[in-house]
Chain A
Amino acid sequence: MVPATSTRTEAAREPVREEATDVVGLGRRRAAAFVAPALVLIVVFLVFPALWTLYLGVTDYRLTGLAATHPHFTGVRNYTDVLADGRFHNSLWLTLEFVGGSAVLGQTVLGFSVAWVMRERPAAVRRTVEALVLLAWILPGSVVAFLWLALLDRDGGTLNAMLGTPGTAWLLDHPMACIVVFNVWRGTAFSMMLYTAALGNVPPSHLETAKLAGASTWQTLRDAVLPKIRGHALTSLLLVSLWTFNDFTPFLITAGGPENRSEVMSAYVYRTALGEGRLGFGAAISLVMLLVNLLIAFAYLRALRRRRA
């Protein structure tokens, strides 16, 4: 180490402009040192696993057996197999149903409705409703999954007892409907909170004016409220779509069954990668899943940008 000369030359080389922007006075190297631990963590826990998944996706790596110790490079075969797999098509379609039904329609519409209806209610009523809706959101997934199993059980289920329909196998006859309703129930809280905040941004004068002009509720919503909260709505839709797309809780309720009829993408990856031990194939599905996620995010971001432009 030759500190004296090296520091001096470096100090001499540092341009004045940088000195001006460096308000904390750390210098580039010390600043880099401060972010280094965070960068190392990101590399170890994010970049490395991502690259590792890319690598696994082009091998026949398995959880057990010979291919666990000596995986072979198989090129794009996993990807062509995924794209040709009927289970994948089925799963992608079910996931889109799940996202469209529970996130885009269910949570958003219900969340907005609750926020709109509760807007002018007494604080006590509003707080109680909000607390109940929030409760569904903050309980751990494994706990609520168990509660829903008890609710929908074929023999001793609460729902059958209430409706007087003993023996109806809701989870077997309507698996998709069950997880869609479940996810609406579970996730409405987020949309509700976001829209409650967003509705606070709508100037009361606009609503008053609409009322004076004799606008119906629908007209008020369309012309006075929606233009003001469109950005919030798109952000909320983006978030809940991506969350729902990757949500694993449906697996805890139907385990992807019966006969793959509720096998959404997360369940499909889990069952192939860990259940069947096909880690290479599972990695390939994960990448395809990521691409679909990116497509969804891209579509929303474009819509947001168009709004701003």
Chain B
Amino acid sequence: MDISGRLERSRPHPHLDSRFHSRLTAALAFLLVGAAVSSCGGGSSSTDPQRNAKARSVTLTIARNAIVGGKNDAEASWITKTVIPGFVAAEKAQGLRVKVVYHGYGVDDEAYKTKTALDLKSKAGADIVSLDGIWVGEFAQAGYIKPLTDVVGARADSWDGWGQISSSVQQLGSFQGKRYGIPPSTDGRVLFYNKKLFAQAGLPTNWQPKSWDEILAAGRALKRLPGVTPLQFNAGTAMGEATTTQGVLPLLAGAGAEIYANGKWAGGGAAMKQVLGFYQQLYGPNGLGDKKLQEEAKGRDKSFEEFANNKIGVLLEGVYLWRAVLNPKDGIAKMADRDQSVGYALIPAVAPGKGVKGQSFVSVSGGAIATINPHTKYPQQAFDLLAYLNRPDVVKARIAGNPEVTSRNDVNADALKDDPFLTYVAQKVLPITLFRPGLAAYTQVSTALQEATAGIVAGHGPDDAAGRYTKALEGIVGGSGNVDAH
């Protein structure tokens, strides 16, 4: 600021004000432009798939809910130790200077979802973002993610890996018939049980219940063991999606209903009441489960620990429990004798033949997808990295020492043959499994399901909880016309 302004005040300088004005205007314009830019989040708004395709020096970022030394440690280590050096070297061989930065998180899935939604909304965030398959619909509708062909062009559809991924697994990353991302793997839900506790309770260590009554009978036998929670099926709102996928949906399928079928959502009808009635056996008076575990903020992690410490008899969980939680090498609740002490069984229908599509056993599958941020500066290079993440040899490196059911049939055929558990999942579970509907309303419906089970945990009866659920569901999906309440 021109200090002479003050001295000149008594006799205004003819040119001072004009100079001053232009400076003021410039300053204001600068501030307003700054504000406008910052409110846009600073991202590039170009949508040309070929933008910066010829850049010689590129920085890419990968984000996912996996962190070295914490949640999904193996995944994070694979990215930082295998993928990034390998990709950088491969690009260098082609004369490109690429830097890849990894943004790892180790938080609850809901918190990661909020963070990612806010990132993408403000046109910021990593270039390659990992999402749960069930979020694809709502993220796509919000415009946060775009079909791969829009972001990188036709080469997204001609990628050679698609031929190795079965179409049901591809659905994980699709919405309204368009591909939004590549699913790296899939999973399934089974009943995990502790063979040591089963032996102590006089139960067969080679267990396969054929009805819900047989599960409850095993629970009553286990209840005689001191300090043991017989049966733990996720319930309540604190566990979020885990309650829906590892609890309500497999049970609902076992009671003969799909959450979304023939254009309608399943309301609080007979099947839902059977499910809630089963929950009442676990968390009602004298129940066979630990209801506090379902209310605690860190309840799911605690259920992992208790299972690893031989304190839970039967736990309905995903493949994740075996691979990443109990894994004696790098799990978050290591169980040294996992292979000998942990048994697994298919989830039975309420009675043989009474499950969805007349099945006697059921499961639910899901999985993440990796997608490209539509606002990436380097769409072509990001797709190169995405394809690299899903290259057969790189996928094999991911599952070496920590096998899982990958999305690629060629890798599975080769890599799973020495792993009895994953062979079991691939051969016995995947053929009978259900995928969750990739619709935007799903996550809200899921919340309503969690609240219904929370009602049981809080002491309400199945009829009461089912009635409230139907009412909540009608509000979410737009009236009773979209709800099947039978």
Contact = CB atoms under 8 A, between A and B. Distances in A.
A8 B441 CA distance: 67
B295 A259 contact: yes
Interface string A1-36: 101101110010000000000001111011001001
Interface stretch (A121-129, A269-277, A281-289): A269-277
A40 interface: yes
Contact of A275 (B14, B27, B110): B110
B158 interface: no
Nearest to B294: A258
Contact of A68 (B143, B295, B458): B143
A62 B440 CA distance: 12
Contacts of B135: 64
A225 interface: no
Nearest to A41: B31
B458 A259 contact: yes
A169 B28 contact: no
A173 to B, nearest CB: 9
Contact of B141 (A36, A65, A254, A259): A65
Interface in B113-132: 114, 117-118, 121
B32 interface: yes
B396 to A, nearest CB: 34
A63 B114 contact: yes
Given A4-B14, A154-B292, A27 B142 contact: no
Contacts of A25: 6, 9-10
Contacts, number: 107
Contacts of A6: 17
B217 interface: no
Interface string A273-309: 0111100000000000000000000000000000000
A29 B144 CA distance: 45
Contacts of A212: none
A258 B238 contact: yes
A162 interface: no
B20 A259 contact: no
Contacts of B458: 259
A258 B457 CA distance: 11
Contacts of B107: none
A204 interface: no
A154 B142 CA distance: 41
A274 B295 contact: no
Interface of A: 1, 3-4, 6-8, 11, 24-27, 29-30, 33, 36-37, 40-41, 44, 62-66, 68-69, 154-155, 169, 171-172, 254-255, 257-259, 274-277
Interface of B: 5-6, 9-10, 12, 14-18, 20-21, 24, 27-28, 31-32, 35, 110, 114, 117-118, 121, 135, 137-139, 141-144, 236-238, 292, 295-297, 302, 440-441, 443-444, 447, 454, 457-458
Given A3-B17, A172-B295, 4 more contacts: A6-B17, A44-B31, A66-B440, A276-B447
5 contacts: A4-B14, A33-B20, A33-B24, A66-B440, A257-B297
